[in-house]
Amino acid sequence: MHGEESLLNDIGLSIVFATVLSHVARILKQPLILGYIIGGALLGQEMGFSLVTNEASIELISEIGLILLLFIIGLEINLSELAKMGKAMFLLGSLQFTLSVAFILSVFPYLGLPIGKEKFDLLYIAVALSLSSTLIVVKLLQDKVEINTLSGKLTVGVLVFQDIWAILFMGVQPNLNNPEILKILASIAKIFAILVLSFTLSKYLLARVYKACANSPELILLTSIMWCFVTCGVAGQVGLSKEMGALVAGMSIAAFPYGADVISKLIGIRDFFVTLFFVALGLKVPLPSLEVIVISFAIIFLMFFVRLITIAPVVISLKKGVRNGILTSLNLAQISEFSLVIMALGAGFDHITGQLKAVILTATIIASVLSTYIIMFNHPIAAVFARILGKFGISDQSQEEKSADGAHGHASGHGDGEVRDIIILGYFRIARAIVHYILDLTPSLAKRIIIADYNPAFKDELTEQGFRWAYADLAHPDSLTHIGLHDASLVICTISDSFLKGTNNARLLATLNKLAPNAKVILTSDEPEDAKKLVSTGAHKVIVPGVITGEFLYDYLTNSLRKV
């Protein structure tokens, strides 16, 4: 009874401290994970008040949290969606991890750091630094409304592939002490066998169970957790880790239509067990020495450099754009929670030293804080890197556009004899709708239009349709000088302040008034009050999408009522 009370008290204290510290993290605009880990550290013996000292409780909390965390991560790995990403995404996801691991394995021994000397240390360092944090990245990109941009999609795609690589590594972890090729191949074969078995049972048996209990959320929740622990047990019986089984269980549910429903039912307990896992990590955090902190910063710098050299060049070579390559690299510049899982398992297998585990954990915490600001200011940072690369001839601009720089009056013709006096700034949802209507109703108008955007992904498509694509970064006036603004009769920006990065419509209007003095300028605003201010400062017209939608719905509603 005493043991049960102790466990209950420990879990209660874990939730209280995690909640309080995560509120502090929220106020300071830091990742909530940081609050969970610090909360655990304050509870433990190493850095805190020694409120939770029962090693058995700590291990139990950690194991339960870890298994359910990996189950939930597995639920978000949809293999069918992965197959739809195309060859370019497959190439990027494959090369990012393999190039990162190869580079770190080759370079790390020459850095002179006092870690990585033991048998498996270097391998674990390479794998840990090659994985990025899904929890942090997805949350921050959603907050910035960038998850559906090209760089956001590339970022999420890489994260999915990283999870797959982590699964494969976890499959061979138990055999690293005796790395015979036959045993490693046997482990991989077991992974695929469990995948096939779990996917088959999920499709033909679990689907019927879910359908039968569709009206009972409690049964769906219990069935999902049961499936998780059954798969964990099977994985343990065949010599794989239980954590590996939890991942496979989640993936086997996510692959089918009822996966989304299961995820919605599990959201309630997901954060609870995520919290327990990271609190348990914090409980084990030793007080970092100055040496550990210095090594951690060196590792973070290496991780950041590796992200840039393994992601940006691949994205650029795939013709997805220089800026998108840099943005994707910046978005992924942190160390994954998966890395902590792998390090925890590695410590359990006696593969790594306690010092290395402490260094990676410290580096993860510091990188999480830094990553928050890197993603927050990713566009200005990317612009700086893009300008540096531009000096070496690496740019999204074509040679003909570069030669047109400084030749204001000739840019509108672009040497093809066509007068293009209508310029659309930015190619997002509204601009795409305009293009669709033009092609359907007035295709000849395309020959008068220049579409200026920083993302070259649509350049070939627009050119084939008769439009002229030009590189432009709306946050930097210098990039607008070459696109023919001086001779424009109409300039349209369809992007509101919510989506503009590094500038706003007021600053953009001031620039356009100088560069396009004879043009009518049409802008887009989120609020009617802002629209009035823009008109008063020189805009010919300002579109407010919310107002237009409201007018349409009102007309539709009143017309429908008249018919009734």
Q: Per residue in 254-264, pLDDT tens?
A: 777 666 667 77
Same domain, 452 and 337: no
Same domain, 173 and 303: yes
Query: Which pair of structure tokens corresponds to residue 373?
Result: 């600001």
For residue 97, name the pLDDT band (cuts at 50, 70, 90): very high
Same domain, 558 and 444: yes
Domain boundary among 361, 377, 393: 377
Q: Is the pLDDT of residue 534 over 90?
A: yes
* Averaged confidence pLDDT in the chain: 83
Pairing verdict, β 490-493 and 422-425: parallel
For residue 218, count other CB atoms closer than 10 A to its CB.
9
Decide if 287 is inside a domain: yes
Domain boundary among 377, 392, 425: 377
Give the pLDDT confidence of 273-302 residue by residue, as tens digits.
777 777 877 887 777 788 888 999 999 999
Give the single-character DSSP code of 113: -
CATH code of 341's domain: 1.20.1530.20
Decide if 314 is inside a domain: yes
Decide if 387 is inside a domain: no
Same domain, 177 and 315: yes
Same domain, 406 and 348: no
Highest mean pLDDT out of 178-187, 282-291, 371-380, 520-529: 520-529
Same domain, 537 and 431: yes
Same domain, 476 and 422: yes
Query: Which pair of structure tokens corresponds to residue 476?
Result: 């930097």
Same domain, 370 and 485: no
> Hey, what long-range contacts does 297-300 have (CB within 8 A, 24 or more apart)?
297/363, 297/366, 298/111, 298/113, 299/113, 299/125, 299/129, 299/359, 299/360, 299/363, 300/335, 300/363, 300/366, 300/367, 300/370
Domain boundary among 377, 412, 427: 377
Residue reference for tokens 């139990």: 60
E strand residue ranges, 303-425: 422-425
Q: Is the pLDDT of residue 171 over 70?
A: yes
Alpha-carbon span 464 to 479, nearest angstrom: 24
Q: Is the pLDDT of residue 81 over 70?
A: no
pLDDT of residue 268: 65
Decide if 501 is inside a domain: yes
Decide if 486 is inside a domain: yes
Give the pLDDT confidence of 413-435 residue by residue, as tens digits.
544 556 789 999 989 889 999 99
Same domain, 525 and 439: yes
R_g of the chain computed on alpha carbons: 27
Q: Is the pTM of this model over 0.75?
A: no
Edge-to-edge strand ranges of the sheet holding 422-425: 468-471, 449-453, 422-425, 490-493, 520-524, 541-543
Q: Which domain holds residue 489?
A: 402-563
Distances (CA, A) of 498 to 3, 118, 145, 192, 505: 53, 50, 8, 45, 10
Decide if 546 is inside a domain: yes
Q: Give the SS3 label for residue 427.
A: coil
Give the pLDDT confidence of 434-475 residue by residue, as tens digits.
999 999 999 999 999 999 987 777 888 899 999 998 888 787
Which amino acid, one-letter code, is at 458?
Answer: F
Give the pLDDT confidence of 535-550 residue by residue, as tens digits.
999 999 999 999 999 9
CATH code of 545's domain: 3.40.50.720
Q: Which alpha helices (DSSP H) does 134-180 contain, by range?
A: 134-143, 150-172
pLDDT of residue 250: 86
Same domain, 367 and 406: no
Number of domains in the chain: 2
Same domain, 133 and 204: yes
Residue 373, beta-bridge partner list? none
Decide if 397 is inside a domain: no
For residue 410, name the pLDDT band (cuts at 50, 70, 90): very low
Decide if 391 is inside a domain: no
Same domain, 341 and 440: no
E strand residue ranges, 473-515: 490-493
Lowest mean pLDDT among 184-188, 541-545, 550-554: 184-188
